[in-house]
Chains A and B, each alone.
Chain A
Amino acid sequence: MTVADRIRLAPTPADVSRFNAWFDEKCIRAGIAKPLAADLKLCVNEVLANAISYGFRGIAKPWITVRIQLDKTRAIATIIDNGTYFDLRGWRVQKDRDLMTGEPGGFGIALVKERAKRLDYSRFCKRNHLRITCELPAPCTAGPHT
């Protein structure tokens, strides 16, 4: 069963929680696998948290819309917002940094890049459009080594 829906959010922590409750219910209805639901939920949370923290400085009437499309093996979220330009695909997380003493940033984007199968970004009409695609790994069909 494919479930498609959308939700309009304010860029606030409370609305991230509201998204999570809404998303959990949609995943149950779609019957998608827990790991797939967990991957997309984490990705969307990281993008929303980043937008709340940095994306709406000087924006008078900020808003975010999240569209989802959930299938058995593929889950897609499209996040549209009227915040400042930000294409997370170009963000590079510093490797070999000292986690105990360094600035603890970049975890969220690194998680998105790890969990998403595909990231598509565009900006038009002063809006960010980020499409996140997560997929279940294909079942292994290789036979045993001989």
Chain B
Amino acid sequence: MRLEQFSLPGEVLLVKLTGALDIAGAGEIETPLHTLSAKHSKVIVDLAGVTFLASVGIRVLLKAARAIRANKGVLALFAPTDEAQRVLRSTGIDTIIPVVADQATAIAECNK
């Protein structure tokens, strides 16, 4: 699992995830994502490269969203595959974390 970060205008942090977010992948990104979440209040996560999403990955994303919200910030997810979207919907995560189609919309969610 690869995690890349890019600073965007407006103090938005783009996190790009690539690979399988299974128990191994989730273990690899949990600490770096948590560290990022403590330092930024506007975080968008690009899920286009996530080839597999299991509940352990959902938990990592949820923990990050909680940490950011604790600082009155927003974490938004964008561009999940159809299968990842299905998992997000089944777990109800899409009701508490914005899940949108593209980067521009994710940035807009952070600036609401």
Check if B96 sits within 8 Å of A99, measured CB to CB. Answer: yes
Complex interface residues of chain A between 59 and 113 (CB less than 8 A to chain B)? 99-101, 104, 107-108, 110-111
CA distance A108 to B56 in the complex (A): 8
20-65 of chain B: CB within 8 A of chain A: 20, 22-25, 27, 52, 54-56, 58-59, 62-63, 65
Q: Is the CB of A104 within 8 A of B62?
A: yes
Residue B7 at the chain A interface, CB threshold 8 Å: no
Interface size of A in residues (CB-CB distance below 8 Å): 23
What's the A-B contact tally at a CB cutoff of 8 Å? 63
> A122 at interface (Cβ–Cβ under 8 A)?
no
Residues of A within 8 A of B65 (CB): 100
Inter-chain contact A107/B59, CB cutoff 8 Å: yes
CB <8 Å contact, A100 and B66: yes
Tell me the chain B residues, 59-99 only, with Cβ under 8 Å from chain A.
59, 62-63, 65-66, 69, 83, 87, 90-93, 95-96
Q: List 21 A-B contacts (CB under 8 A).
A: A13-B23, A13-B24, A14-B24, A20-B20, A35-B83, A41-B52, A46-B54, A49-B55, A49-B56, A99-B93, A100-B66, A100-B96, A104-B59, A104-B62, A104-B63, A107-B59, A107-B91, A108-B56, A110-B91, A111-B87, A111-B91
Report A's interface with B, CB cutoff 8 A.
13-14, 16-17, 20, 35, 38, 41-42, 45-46, 48-49, 52, 99-101, 104, 107-108, 110-111, 114
B residues adjacent to A (C-beta < 8 A): 20, 22-25, 27, 52, 54-56, 58-59, 62-63, 65-66, 69, 83, 87, 90-93, 95-96
